Amino acid sequence: MGDTRVWAVIAYVRLSDEDREKPEDEKSRSVDNQIKYLEMYIETMKARGERISGHAVIYDDGKTGTDTNRTGFQEVMELLREKKYNCLLVSDLSRGFRNISDQTYYLEEYFPLHDIRFISTTLQYVDSYLLPGSALNLGVKIQGITNEQFAYDTSVKIRSKFDLKRKLGEFIGAFAPYGYAKKLDNSDVLVVDPEAAGIVRDIFSWYADGLMSLSAIVKKLNTFGIPNPTKYKNQKGLNLKNPAGNDGLWSASSVRRILTNEVYLGRMVQGREEVINYKVHKSRKVPREDWFVVEGTHEAIIDPKTFDKAQQLLSMNVRAGANGGIHPLAGIVKCGECKKAMSRKSSKGHAYYCCRTRREKGKQFCKSHSVREKVLYAAVLEAVNIQVWQLGDMRALTQRVQNAPGKPADTRDFGYRITISEKQLENETAVFDKSYYDFARGVISEAQFKRIRGICERRQAELENLIETLRQETKITGVKPAAFDAFQKGRRFTELTRGLAFDLIETVYVYEDMSLEICFRFADPSIPS
């Protein structure tokens, strides 16, 4: 044909949607077949007199064709841009492009502009060099639209099937949320997993009681050797795909995720995130009104009162002190002048609450004033006691304090965990005894026996430590309601815990002249006075 142009060809191969459903070996066969086919085509080109300087094979597998940021495809574009190759060969249009706008852009603009030859061997044969205009014909466009429609149909079908299940409150996730398990005979239904549910209850009561910050809870869980949800899943033999890559430790965000998950109220909440569309495989947050929320689909682990209190405390976003505890007045103290929250600062061993507005926003916006925490605390405690005294009938308040979350359950749950640890310790001892017996009878060698003994001793020491920590903790939680006992005896509070402060006080306003205004929650009409 007397042609002098020399072609450097890229053969681009991609698995189709159907291919991706197939087992691994069939997949690779499909890739191999496509490559063989395209290489045969290149031989045909040579046979009919075309000059080919060389060719490269690039492929994408397991990626959806609608995603134009396929790594292989990007590599192809890079090579074409650098003019290392000047001809792109695909077996059919759908391998190259999955949406019509991309196809149109490349075929009608990019390739002609950069003098790139494009060949599609089947399903709308295109060769922009030998058959100029073939890239622009209507059939090519229709094929492009058909390919796109196919991808769209597929994604809509999958989604609507899931939407129906979500509407019915059927669980569609791969793994049950921490604290639950999928029901054995019906994986759409969640049942309580007593072991993890105990931890969930602990986390809520520790936090909602106002005694512990997120980071103190994190430290406590990790000290107790309680595996985080991912490690727990692995231990249960679930999620075997990713056994490494997670240190098994709790973090503030994993605790926060538990504290905000409405699933613990017995409410199924699904569809909080969605894939943007069938072209862009990224997730985005869905507005709450579009979530699939179904009440009472499974047993609740947390009561609504405790849950709401945890949400309120989280929204106050209080910072923890050095000892991991939260200061009882944190988040409650506000500047009387500008009504903004005051920040807590430490200086020379004393803690202060001060208004930041003046320093951060400008002198004209507030007066400069601060108050020592100790002074403020004593004043507020006194005010609380006076207020409670004035209430006269303390029944309602007593009830309110009694109903506050985070009491005896703690102690019982620790007892349960102590029992488990003691059982494990017994097991270790039994293993050791058996290995000694085996050694004495000559079943195992001395070296083997020593190795087993080493392991057993280490495990025993770990467990004894854990049991001791748990016992100590039981003692501490045992004395926790001291403030309440003191109140019942002396009719006054001797200390103000964060939980108590939160239950009784809405806001403490501190004015420039150091006068305080305390807004009590007692005004709540639900509490009879």
The residues binding Zn ion (CB under 5 A) are 335, 337-338, 355, 357, 366
Residue among 22 and 340 whose Cβ is closer to Zn ion: 340
Residue 61 near residue 15 (C-beta atoms within 8 A): yes
Query: Considering beta carbons, is residue 80 or 508 the nearer one to Zn ion?
Result: 508
**For residues 355 and 452, which CB has a smaller minimum distance to Zn ion in the complex?**
355
C-beta of 181 vs 335, nearer to Zn ion: 335
Q: C-beta of 352: minimal distance to Zn ion in Å?
A: 14
Euclidean distance between CA atoms 207 and 56, whole angstroms? 60
Instruction: Residue 111: name the closest of 122, 102, 121 by CA.
Output: 102
Closest approach, Cβ 350 to Zn ion, in A, equals 20
Instruction: Give least dist CB 386 to Zn ion, A.
Output: 26
Q: Retrieve residue 245's tokens.
A: 């890559």
Interatomic CA distance for residues 89 and 296, integer angstroms: 57
Distance CA 346, CA 321 (A): 10
Please list the helix, strand and coil fractions of the chain in percent, rounded to the nearest 5, in that order: 50, 15, 35
Strands 505-510 and 333-335: parallel
Q: Which is nearer to Zn ion, 21 or 512 (CB)?
A: 512
What sections of 296-445 are H helices per DSSP? 304-316, 357-361, 373-391, 395-403, 409-440
Which residue is it, tokens 């061993």? 349
Nearer to Zn ion, 10 or 355 (CB): 355
Which is nearer to Zn ion, 90 or 335 (by Cβ)? 335
Given the complex with Zn ion, which of 49 and 362 has the nearer CB atom?
362
- Smallest separation, CB 345 to Zn ion (Å): 14
Nearest-angstrom CA–CA distance, 380 and 374: 10
Task: Please report how close the Cβ of residue 177 comes to Zn ion at its closest, in angstroms.
Answer: 42
Helical H segments across 326-392, by residue range: 357-361, 373-391
Q: Which sign, positive or negative, has the C-alpha torsion 324, 327, 333, 335? A: negative
Q: How far is the CB of 284 from Zn ion (least distance, A)?
A: 38
Overall size of the chain counted in residues: 529
Listing from the earlier edge strand, what are the strands of the sheet with 87-92? 51-60, 6-14, 87-92, 117-122, 126-127
CA dist 421 and 399 (Å) reads 36
Q: What's the rounded Cα separation, in Å, for the pair 265 and 298? A: 9
Query: CB of residue 355 vs Zn ion: minimum separation in angstroms?
Result: 3
Closer CB to Zn ion, residue 339 or residue 475?
339
Which residue, 147 or 357, is less far from Zn ion as judged by CB? 357
| Minimum separation from the CB atom of position 333 to Zn ion (A) | 11
The least distance separating Zn ion from the CB of residue 519, rounded to whole angstroms, comes to: 17
Give the Cα-Cα-Cα angle 273, 275, 281 (nearest 5 degrees).
140
* Minimum distance of Zn ion from residue 508's CB (angstroms): 13
For 307, the 3-state DSSP assignment is helix
Cβ closest to Zn ion, residue 97 vs residue 353: 353
Q: How far is the CB of 518 from Zn ion (least distance, A)?
A: 17
Residue 517: in which H helix or E strand, if any?
strand 516-520
The phi, psi pair for 435, rounded to 5°, reads: -65, -35
